[in-house]
Every structure is written in structure tokens, then in C-alpha cells.
Amino acid sequence: MTNLLLGLNFEPQIESLGSDYWDVVDAARFPRTELRFRNNDLLRQLGIDPGAVKDHHLEQAYGCFEARTPLLALRYHGYQFGTYNPLLGDGRGFLYGQLRDRFGQLQDLGTKGSGTTPWSRGGDGRLTLKGGVREIIASEALHRLGVTTSRTLCLVETGEKLWRSDEPSPTRSSVMVRIARTHLRFGTCERLLHLRNAQGLERLLRHVVDVYYPLIAAAHPVQDGNAAGAIEAQLLAFYAELVERVARLAAEWMAAGFTHGVLNTDNMSLLGESFDYGPFAFLDQWEPGFTAAYFDQTGLYAYGRQPGICHNNLRLLQEPLAMLLPRQPLEQSLETFAPIYQSHYRACMQRRLGLPSSFDHNGNIEGGDDAVHKTLALLAAWPVGYGAFFAGLATQISTKGLPEEPEALLPVVLDGAEPARKAWLDWRDRWWTQQREAVSAEPDEAQAINARLQRWNLVKTPIRSVIEEFWQAIDQHDDWQPLQAWLKASCVD
Ligand SMILES: Nc1ncnc2c1ncn2[C@@H]1O[C@H](COP(=O)(O)OP(=O)(O)OP(=O)(O)O)[C@@H](O)[C@H]1O
Ligand SMILES: [Mg+2]
């Protein structure tokens, strides 16, 4: 059977931008390749019939990197924990290729753990198997929860022993391949400011607008005579749209109870998509100060600080953009961050609670605010799991239906300790009233509430202890079943 993956129709968009933006690299040669995860859902999205793809085809393509050139390590810099680092760039991955999915959207296939590059800075260019497993879990759970995110296409174990300070060593090596809308980062722009390369930045951003923001390109066509004005208008509109996307992304993370952990500007996509899942954690209990990365000693990237950090990263992005654009309209766009964040956060929380969101004529979400506030007050008062709270509500409604009386809604099924009584009663009465109002206004809401609860919550949130459970089985018995079972139940085909 021919390997379809070796004959895909790649579109050399980044390659054609020119060699200022990347370095051609070779993949490492690994002693062994063994497919550990494949995402059939994504193969279908790429227009490939999963039935025609054998596991060894994925190993050939994404472990041995057969028949694919050029592999491009992308150049970028970034602010890491507030300090500018001009030595970054793809140090353990490369852009494998870009192709259209079946919706016509350009997608990047990018690797992690595929060998050293000119940007490895003494690192080994590798990804641990546990790191790869964690990346699958984060991307697929976030996708399932409605967060705009990269996805994991496959994970190939590569048969080397790695030494790490934060994992029992030696540990196993792997290559992860993801699809992301782009691997262009805020840090890609920051590098061009560092090099005082305004022309290079303009070229990059016009490319971004043409390929990824077609509505903006169409709204401000660049023609002879008005080119400068049209380009400025495009780039200002791009920044305004990016502010909106990043505000929405931050809201989605917060509602998902997700702490990214390393919100450096080199981990911020120019399309506002979430990616790079290293020391992330899903909240166990709701706690704004929760910090995911052990090396984040000041809690800079704590759960509750993420919206502020995203806002700050967007302001940092103004520095390179100011080589091409006036500051004042950029600042004005940034002011939309807070209201967009607020209304999207409310909408995301509402749907986790099963409740409808209605919009006023300005697009703001009406009502429901109170239920969201009361949910946060309850979660602050009651040491219940964040994801477990929503899962408990979803299970109760799917098994017993909507409660006739508020008293019928029971906290006991919601796992954990006795809730602080007042917070529980406040929350319960509010939620009950809101669902009742929704159903009286629109009888179909009875099904819709249950459907939302099932759709926007996970039966089992992959908090750290759950990930460790999956990892122990893999590490000690090479048993991938618990991970696979969870993926099947919660996430992907
Ligand atoms: N083991 C390693 N060997 C070489 N370079 C590394 C290694 N680990 C991280 N790096 C590099 O250090 C920088 C910061 O790493 P970070 O964890 O943010 O990114 P990453 O997880 O490697 O990749 P991505 O951001 O594409 O998901 C990146 O430039 C990355 O390539
Ligand atoms: Mg990174």
C-alpha cells in the first residue's frame, strides 16, 4: 500500500517568504520508531482517509522524515519571563510542511523533538515521551472544551534515552507532530525589530494578512497610488483583530480552568491560537494564584494572571509594529481587550453551566452574569474540583433531567467536601431560576441545556493526578490503554 503521507500536496508559503525567516535543517536519525498516538480525526480534516494510512506510514513520514525537503527551522526571538532573548528559534522542531485542509484552510505541520538546529543552544533537540503525551492531552482536551488550539497529529517514540532535570532519567524520546494554523509568533516580529528590519516585518505581516486574514486584505485592497495607505489600514486592522482573538483565547483558557504556564511572547501565535504545551496544568481546585511551571517562582504566569499577561504581550507586540504603524490606533485597539475578554469569558462560562447566552444589539452578552459570579463565589468557598463541579452538574442533569424545584439539585453528586452552605444555596437558586426562565421563554431549551452541559464539559478533566495515572501505566507497563480510553471517551476518535 503506498504511503499517502509521502505524497501530500504541500504549499511552500513560508519557504517562499525567503531565507531571512528560516534555516533549512536535517531531521535526526533515530534508532527506532514506534507510533504511539495517531489522530484519525485530523487525518480526515487533512482530507486523508485514515483507513488508508498504516501506523508504519506515520512512522516513515513523521519519525524517519522520508521524502520531505526542505525542513525549515523558523527564526524567532521572544520575551521569556519578562527578559528579552535574542537566541531563540526552533531549537528542537521544524516546519515540516504547509497544506490546505478540507475546509481550504492552510495548516502547518510542525514537529517537536525532531533533532537539533542552529537554534538549539546546547540542547539535545529532543522531546521526552512524557512531554509528548502531555502535549496530546492538553491540545485534545482544550480542543474538546472549545479552546482555539493547535492539535496533535501523532506521537512517535524514537528509541533514545534522554537526560532531564525535571523527569526521572534516563527517560524515553519521542517526536510529536502537530497541526497549527501557523507557527509564526509574536517573537517572529520581535526578532525583526531587534534586527531593525522594517522591510522584513512588512513583508511578513502582509503575508500573514494575505494568507490568514483574507477579509482584511479584501477590505483594504492594495492598488497603485494608495499602496502605503492600504497597507497601513490592513496592518492596523490585523492588530485590532489579533487583540480580539487573543482576548477570546484568554477567556477560553480561563473558562477551561487551564494554566498555560509559559506565556512568553515566543509562545504567542500571530493568529491567536493556543499552542506549546509544556508545564501546563488544568486547575484542580479553582485558585487564581495557581502556578503551573515549577520554575515560575514569582507566579508571573499564574492562572489568574493570564488575561493580564496576554494584554501585556499584545502591548509588547506594538514595539515591532511601531516600525510601520502609528502608535495611537494600536493603543486604541488594545483598549478593546478588556470588554471582549469579559463578554467572551461570560459566554464560555454560561455554556459550561448549560445556560443560553443572549446578545444585545451591540453584541454584548446579556444576563447570566450573576450565575457566573455565583459560580466563582461557590468555587472559591468549596474545595471541589473545578472540572469535577461542571462534570457533576452535567451528569446530574443528564440522568435526572432538569430539577422541578431548586431543592432537587443536589450537591452530593458533586464530589468533594460539604460546600459552604450559603454559597451553595445562592448558586443553586440562581442556576435553577436561570434555567427555568430559559425554558419558559423557549421550551426547546430543556434539551438545549442538557446538550450544552454534555458538549462543553469533560467527563474527566486531565488534572495533574489524572495525567500521572496515564503516565504511570505507560512508564511502568507500557500500557497505553488508560490514555487511549480517556481520549476516546473525552476527546478524539
Ligand atoms: N531539548 C531542547 N533542545 C533544543 N532546544 C530546545 C529544547 N527545549 C526547548 N528548546 C528551545 O527553547 C525555546 C523555548 O522552548 P519552549 O519550551 O517554549 O518551546 P518548545 O516547546 O520547544 O517548542 P514550541 O514553542 O514550538 O512548542 C525554543 O526555542 C525551543 O526550541
Ligand atoms: Mg515554545
Mean predicted confidence (pLDDT) in 104-126: 97
For 69-99, write each residue's pLDDT tens digit: 999 999 999 999 999 999 999 999 999 999 9
For 294-331, write each residue's pLDDT tens digit: 999 999 999 999 999 999 999 999 999 999 999 999 99
Q: Is the pLDDT of residue 416 over 90?
A: no
Nearest-CA residue for ligand 1 atom 27 is 276
Residue-level pLDDT at 341? 97
- Contact residues for 150 (Cβ-Cβ < 8 A; gap 6+): 110, 139, 178, 179, 180, 181, 273, 274, 275
Mean predicted confidence (pLDDT) in 363-391: 84
Give the integer Cα–Cα distance in Å for 115 and 353: 44
Single out the catalytic residue among 20, 49, 55, 266: 266
Active site residue 266: yes
Secondary structure (3-state) at 448: helix
369 is in an annotated binding site: no
**Phi then psi for 490, rounded to 5 degrees?**
-105, -30
Q: Is the pLDDT of residue 368 over 80?
A: no
Among residues 149, 140, 138, 146, the alpha carbon closest in space to that of 348 is found at 146
Secondary structure (3-state) at 438: helix
Mean predicted confidence (pLDDT) in 463-470: 98
Residue-level pLDDT at 1? 86
Atom of ligand 1 nearest to the CA of 89: 29
- Contact residues for 366 (Cβ-Cβ < 8 A; gap 6+): 357, 358, 359, 360
125 is in an annotated binding site: yes
Q: Which ligand is nearest to the CA of 122?
A: 1
Mind giving me the DSSP string for 233-301?
HHHHHHHHHHHHHHHHHHHHHHHHTEE-S---GGG-BTT--B---SS-EE-SB--TT----TT-TT-TT
For 124-138, write each residue's pLDDT tens digit: 999 999 999 999 999
Mean predicted confidence (pLDDT) in 5-17: 97
Residues within 6 Å of ligand 1 by CB:
88-93, 112, 119-120, 123-126, 262, 266-267, 276, 278
Mean predicted confidence (pLDDT) in 447-466: 96
Q: Where are the beta strands (DSSP E) in 187-232?
A: none
- Contact residues for 270 (Cβ-Cβ < 8 A; gap 6+): 182, 184, 185, 186, 188, 189, 208, 212, 242
Q: How many CA atoms lie within 13 A of 170 on its CB side?
A: 7
DSSP for residue 416: S
Residue-level pLDDT at 348? 96
For 177-206, write each residue's pLDDT tens digit: 999 999 999 999 999 999 999 999 999 999
Secondary structure (3-state) at 247: helix
Q: Is the pLDDT of residue 39 over 60?
A: yes
- Looking at the chain, the whole-number percentage of residues with pLDDT higher than 70 is 95
185 is in an annotated binding site: yes
Mean predicted confidence (pLDDT) in 454-482: 97
Type of residue found at 231? I
Residue-level pLDDT at 363? 54
Q: Is the pLDDT of residue 414 over 70?
A: no
Nearest-CA residue for ligand 1 atom 10 is 91
Q: Cβ of 288: how many Cβ atoms within 10 Å? A: 14
Best residue among 25, 71, 80, 92 to mutate for probing ligand 1's pocket (most ligand atoms within 8 Å of CB) is: 92
320 with 196: CB under 8 angstroms?
no
Q: Is the pLDDT of residue 16 over 90?
A: yes
Query: Residue 74: which region, alpha, beta or left (left: phi > 0; alpha: psi -120 to 50)?
Result: beta
Cα separations in angstroms, 302 against 80, 254, 276: 15, 11, 16
Give the integer Cα–Cα distance in Å for 238 and 252: 21
Q: How confident is the model at residue 266 (pLDDT cuts 50, 70, 90)?
A: very high
Nearest-CA residue for ligand 1 atom 15 is 91
Q: Is the pLDDT of residue 473 over 70?
A: yes
Among residues 380, 362, 364, 435, the alpha carbon closest in space to that of 403 is found at 435
Q: Cβ of 370: how many Cβ atoms within 10 Å? A: 13
Q: What angle do CA 252, 83, 325 make, to 5 degrees?
A: 70
- Quote the cell numbers at residue 480: 497505553
Q: Is the pLDDT of residue 428 over 50?
A: yes
474 with 467: CB under 8 angstroms?
no
Residue-level pLDDT at 127? 98
Atom of ligand 1 nearest to the CA of 275: 27
What is the ipTM score, two decimals? Answer: 0.98
Q: Is the pLDDT of residue 366 over 90?
A: no
Average pLDDT score over the chain: 94
Among residues 390, 414, 433, the alpha carbon closest in space to that of 255 is found at 390
Mean predicted confidence (pLDDT) in 364-389: 84
Q: Is the pTM of this model over 0.90?
A: yes
Give the integer Cα–Cα distance in Å for 391 and 458: 6
345 with 251: CB under 8 angstroms?
yes
Q: Is the pLDDT of residue 256 over 90?
A: yes
Residue-level pLDDT at 413? 47
DSSP for residue 433: H
